[in-house]
């Protein structure tokens, strides 16, 4: 049994383990109730995976049923001998499983022709052009559904669930999913593959990542002062592994220790996708950050 499946099985057994990182961390604020849902499709609830406790003491995250449904893929990946071979295997598998090259098999008809090419790779490219566009809304909606973390920004702050901004986000999310072939399930598999790749490369439990800003007021600060802050990030946020690149996007740099388990996608995972800026798409929540000057 490969490592990813073993981790998923172990995560399910430990889901209610009292020794697991909990949200009762007195050293910092809890993830606010308005930033999370009571249920999700992950082995840990949002109140834990979005907390400072998780940042300090990360553990594996597993989306419901993904490792089990795609067991054959991960067993085949275990037998590959190079990253290039693994990349090609993943691309071939996701295209075949979701019939991406033969969408008529998946029910494509005249009413959905305009969205025929809306798939995981188009969605990621859409994010790279405009994270507050239709594809960005679909990605934030996927995080909301799978991890239970509510988006906090989409073109403008999302604070009122009955307001115009929230309604606009939901409309764009629906438009991003309309006419696609199980796009959210494609993203499930993409996240699982990213985690598999990090594990296979021997990545540490935490990665030091950076985000360029012009002022800390651009983010929701939960606690802290001076150079050390606790920030509530949007449920999906772009970071970079390159400090110098982060400095190109603002006068200050936020430096965070990000659990590898919360990296949804990273530049270099699949050639031709998110090529610039050494970008890392990170699942949000509360994070301790250090504010650095250039």
**pLDDT for residue 175:** 94
| pLDDT (tens digit per residue) in 13-64 | 444 444 444 444 455 678 999 999 999 999 999 999 999 999 999 999 999 9
Does residue 216 sit within a domain?
yes
Q: Is residue 135 part of a domain?
A: no
Reading the block at residue 14, the tokens are: 């430990």
- 98-112, pLDDT tens digit by residue? 988 876 665 566 555
Does residue 226 lie within any of the structural domains? yes
Residues of the chain with pLDDT under 50: 1, 12-25
Parallel, antiparallel, or unpaired for β 228-240 and 220-225?
A: antiparallel
- Any domain includes 211: yes
Output the six-digit token pair for 118.
């809306």
Torsion angle defined by CA atoms of residues 168, 169, 172 and 177, in that order, rounded to the nearest 10 degrees? -150
Domain carrying residue 289: 206-293
Task: Tell me whether residue 215 is in a domain.
Answer: yes
Q: Are 202 and 265 in contact (CB under 8 A)?
A: no
**What is the helix (H) or strand (E) element at residue 48, kind and residue range?**
helix 46-49
Give the contacts of 71 (CB within 8 A, at least 6 positions apart): 5
Rounded to an integer, what is the distance from CA 108 to the centroid of its chain? 28
3-state DSSP assignment of residue 77: helix
- The pLDDT value recorded for residue 236 is 98
β-sheet bridge partners, residue 36: 149
Distance (Å, whole) CA 218 – CA 195: 30
Instruction: Determine, yes or no, domain membership for 246.
Output: yes
pTM: 0.89
Does residue 237 lie within any of the structural domains? yes
**Domain membership flag for residue 95:** no
Q: Directed axis angle between helix 134-147 and helix 164-177, to 10°?
A: 90
Main-chain phi, psi angles of 275, to 5 degrees: -75, -30
Q: Distances in Å between the alpha carbon of 2 and those of 72, 75, 97, 124, 261?
A: 10, 6, 20, 27, 17
Structural domains counted in the chain: 1
- Quote the pLDDT of residue 23: 44
DSSP 96-158: HHTTTT-GGGGT--TTTGGGTT-SHHHHHHHHHH-TTSHHHHHHHHHHHHHH-BPP-BSSSB-
> How many angstroms separate the CA atoms of 69 and 91, rounded?
17
């Amino acid at each position: 049994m490969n490592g990813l499946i073993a981790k998923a099985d172990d995560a399910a057994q430990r889901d209610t383990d009292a020794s697991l990182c909990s949200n009762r961390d007195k050293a910092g604020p809890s993830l606010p109730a308005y930033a999370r849902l009571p249920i999700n499709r992950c082995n840990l609830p949002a109140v834990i995976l979005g907390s400072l406790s998780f940042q300090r003491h990360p553990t594996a995250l597993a989306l419901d049923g993904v490792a089990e449904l795609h067991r054959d893929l991960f067993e085949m990946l275990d037998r590959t001998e190079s990253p290039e071979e693994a990349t090609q295997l993943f691309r071939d598998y996701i295209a075949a499983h979701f019939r991406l090259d033969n969408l008529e098999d998946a029910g494509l008809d005249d009413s959905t022709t305009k969205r025929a090419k809306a798939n995981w790779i188009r969605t990621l490219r859409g994010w790279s052009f405009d994270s507050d566009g239709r594809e960005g809304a679909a990605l934030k909606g996927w995080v909301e559904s799978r991890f239970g973390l509510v988006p906090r920004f989409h073109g403008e702050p999302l604070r009122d669930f009955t307001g115009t901004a929230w309604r606009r986000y939901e409309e764009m999310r629906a438009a991003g999913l309309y006419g696609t072939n199980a796009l959210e399930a494609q993203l499930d598999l993409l996240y699982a593959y990213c985690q598999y790749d990090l594990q296979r490369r021997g990545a540490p439990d935490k990665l030091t990542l950076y985000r360029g800003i012009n002022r800390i007021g651009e983010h929701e600060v939960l606690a802290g002062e001076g150079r050390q802050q606790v920030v509530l990030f949007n449920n999906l946020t772009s970071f970079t592994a390159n400090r110098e690149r982060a400095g190109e996007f603002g006068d200050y740099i936020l430096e965070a220790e990000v659990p590898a388990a919360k990296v949804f996608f990273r530049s270099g995972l699949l050639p031709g996708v998110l090529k610039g800026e050494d970008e890392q798409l990170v699942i949000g929540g509360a994070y301790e950050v250090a504010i650095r000057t250039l």
